[in-house]
A and B are shown apart, each in its own frame.
Chain A
């Protein structure tokens, strides 16, 4: 009963569509490869582990906040916990480049700075890091974007970029 013909019957319109779809997917591959590797817009990777039970007592997150590394270059350690960010405010001059390191001492949180490419998950045990340059003066709220309990909606802080 098995038909002898083992090759797939493909209509000509169908073939055109399939080829067009494959080309489209290849174009997407190329586009995200370029966007992901050459345009300087990074997603977080592996930075390192910390112990969430002790992270608030010792190490770099014991005293979170801004540190100047060189003129215009900063690093900021941010500790997320239910339901606030420490520090609540970070002030830098216009044009500064800030490398953020964010972790949590309790549940999962999110850390998104409005109107920037900073948007990471904050997991206890992991350090999330991205570098952002602030080219325009103004206030940039950072908000918690992952449900973290009853106070989640009020969990935020802000970056103040001065002229």
Chain B
């Protein structure tokens, strides 16, 4: 993109994005405390048992609930809505059409966060981030979550209205890739969250308020996983967005294929949602046939990730070769590994390859029997959401936060150390979690207390603790770097960071128009959803046994 097409974002837009970053990073700073504490507990150092700690947090499980909610739901959602705001404004080079819509959405998210935080911190909602019925949290928890989700929808409407206005102003022009991907992720999210919205509004909330007697555990689980699986794509696609449309520029390369990138994202829109039964392979009450159908669909969504692997690698290779890299793999070393933003995202991608392979195993229908609800599973998703997504988001924030604040990244070398510590800590932690899971250790369990854990596992438990310790250092280094950056003095205009926008090897106008039209893809997505979920949801509704009263078991 030539210099003439540069876009100057207004100060108020920057500030609006900045608020998202602030809340996201604040959530991470609290949520990430508990992850290392869990690993220390496994290794035999149980801080949860300390009286001074118990004055604040009552149990391992309260900590785990906070960890899951603040990290996996709040850090991600707040970062993603903020980052998507950036991709919409900067990609379309226009202001939000109705900023008030986005602002209303934002405030709803904030109110929701506070509303959910109260019962969480008071130990009234120690139900983990999956809140499986008939465990019953305080109603404020459900209200808070609903507000966060609905707030994110409303921010999404703000994006659609802006995009629609841009389309009117630019007939026939291909949607700039980063905006296309950002908007598509929000659309996918809105289809995905129908499940959880129905679960909470029609079942859990009335029940928690005492308006209904019971809920059906299987039906509410099914609705939860309607949302729960695509949730992981909601986390992942913004990282892909950066890998496709920004990272190539950061390494001096070009996007290899605009068309294939769009095709991959359309496939994600169509395939991300109708496959939630792969989280319920070992649930009683769901027929095996439907589990098998969802297993096939799960493997299909492997395709767009494979496309992504090709296109992103090819785009990086263009950069590595332009920088003098030779040979089959020699270009890899020529990439600008010294740039913390680049290193973070490259390392995120490497960890994600292992996460993807593990994911294929989880998805393999009856092989899932070996790993379901074992420590293998958190071992797996700390490579995906906590690395592919989180480490990429950290990398993005190394330029995004300086850009929106007009500051300079504080100590880039330290940032580089920080991302490598994440990588090393994660390799140790995740590997030990996978191994101990295969041996049979359950997840969501303070393993140091569990009486059935054999002595021979202590080496693995120790490695979990060591990995957790390294991650602890890394995550707080990150937060310090962000805080000092944001609080430092502004730099002169000519030293300001510029957002990386990758050029495409081929003119995006060459991309076929069917890859830039929404209606047909939306119809396919909804039709597939109706086929994959319709019969089972109807069946579960017809046989609903709304008999379970609520339990507070913590």
Binding site for B on A (CB under 8 A): 1-3, 5-11, 13-14, 17-18, 21-22, 24-25, 28-29, 31-33, 35-36, 39, 41-47, 49, 51-53, 82, 106-108, 110, 112, 114-115, 117-129, 141, 143-150, 152-154, 156
Binding stretch for chain A, among B331-339, B363-371, B388-396, B484-492: B363-371
Docked complex Cα distance between A114 and B439 (Å) = 8
- Is the pair B369, A108 in contact by a Cβ cutoff of 8 Å? no
Contacts of A2 in B (CB 8 A): 172, 513
Contacts of B368 in A (CB 8 A): 43
Q: How many B residues touch A, CB cutoff 8 Å?
A: 79
CB of A133 to closest CB in B, whole Å: 15
Q: Select A114's contact among B307, B440, B513, B553, beta carbons within 8 Å.
A: B440
- Is the pair B372, A145 in contact by a Cβ cutoff of 8 Å? yes
Is B10 engaged at the interface, CB distance under 8 Å to the other chain?
no
- A-B contacts, 8 of them at CB < 8 A, read A2-B172, A14-B311, A46-B286, A47-B284, A53-B549, A107-B135, A112-B372, A120-B283
Contacts of B295 in A (CB 8 A): 32, 36
Contacts of B510 in A (CB 8 A): 3, 5, 9
- Is the pair A123, B221 in contact by a Cβ cutoff of 8 Å? yes
- Is the pair A145, B284 in contact by a Cβ cutoff of 8 Å? no
Closest to B221 in A: A123
Contacts of A28 in B (CB 8 A): 299, 302, 360, 364
CB contact list, B22-67 vs A, under 8 A: 59, 61, 64
Given contacts A43-B369, A46-B285, contact A124 B512 (CB under 8 A): no
Contacts of B300 in A (CB 8 A): 25
Docked complex Cα distance between A36 and B291 (Å) = 10
- Is the pair A6, B303 in contact by a Cβ cutoff of 8 Å? no
Contacts of B218 in A (CB 8 A): 123, 125-126
- Is the pair A153, B445 in contact by a Cβ cutoff of 8 Å? yes
Binding stretch for chain A, among B243-251, B447-455, B463-471, B495-503: B447-455
Q: Select A119's contact among B286, B373, B509, beta carbons within 8 Å.
A: B373
Is B207 engaged at the interface, CB distance under 8 Å to the other chain?
no
Docked complex Cα distance between A108 and B257 (Å) = 47
Closest to B510 in A: A3
Q: Select A150's contact among B286, B292, B554, beta carbons within 8 Å.
A: B554
Contacts of A1 in B (CB 8 A): 171-173, 509
Is B282 engaged at the interface, CB distance under 8 Å to the other chain?
yes
Which 10 A/B pairs are nearest by Cβ-Cβ distance? A149-B553, A1-B172, A128-B284, A145-B373, A21-B306, A126-B284, A145-B442, A126-B285, A147-B444, A153-B450
Docked complex Cα distance between A114 and B61 (Å) = 23
Given contacts A120-B282, A150-B61, contact A52 B171 (CB under 8 A): no
Contacts of A9 in B (CB 8 A): 257, 259, 506, 510
- Is the pair A44, B512 in contact by a Cβ cutoff of 8 Å? no
Is B179 engaged at the interface, CB distance under 8 Å to the other chain?
no
Contacts of B452 in A (CB 8 A): 114, 141, 143, 156
Is B287 engaged at the interface, CB distance under 8 Å to the other chain?
yes
- Is the pair A25, B299 in contact by a Cβ cutoff of 8 Å? yes
Docked complex Cα distance between A39 and B369 (Å) = 14
CB of A43 to closest CB in B, whole Å: 5
- Is the pair A8, B263 in contact by a Cβ cutoff of 8 Å? yes
17 further contact pairs, Cβ within 8 A, besides A49-B285, A124-B548, A127-B284: A2-B172, A8-B260, A14-B260, A17-B307, A24-B306, A32-B292, A35-B364, A35-B367, A39-B366, A47-B285, A108-B132, A112-B440, A123-B284, A146-B444, A149-B553, A152-B444, A152-B445
Is B399 engaged at the interface, CB distance under 8 Å to the other chain?
no
Contacts of B446 in A (CB 8 A): 153
Q: Select B547's contact among A5, A18, A51, A156, beta carbons within 8 Å.
A: A51
- Is the pair A143, B442 in contact by a Cβ cutoff of 8 Å? yes
- Is the pair B374, A145 in contact by a Cβ cutoff of 8 Å? yes
- Is the pair B512, A106 in contact by a Cβ cutoff of 8 Å? no
Contacts of B512 in A (CB 8 A): 3, 5-8
Is B105 engaged at the interface, CB distance under 8 Å to the other chain?
no
- Is the pair A49, B283 in contact by a Cβ cutoff of 8 Å? no
CB contact list, B374-408 vs A, under 8 A: 374
Q: Select B282's contact among A18, A44, A46, A107, beta carbons within 8 Å.
A: A44
Docked complex Cα distance between A51 and B546 (Å) = 10
CB of B252 to closest CB in A, whole Å: 20
- Is the pair A106, B134 in contact by a Cβ cutoff of 8 Å? yes
Q: Select A107's contact among B221, B257, B553, beta carbons within 8 Å.
A: B553
- Is the pair B365, A35 in contact by a Cβ cutoff of 8 Å? yes
Chain B 199-236 against A: per-residue CB contact (8 Å), 1 yes, 0 no? 00000000000000000111001000000000000000
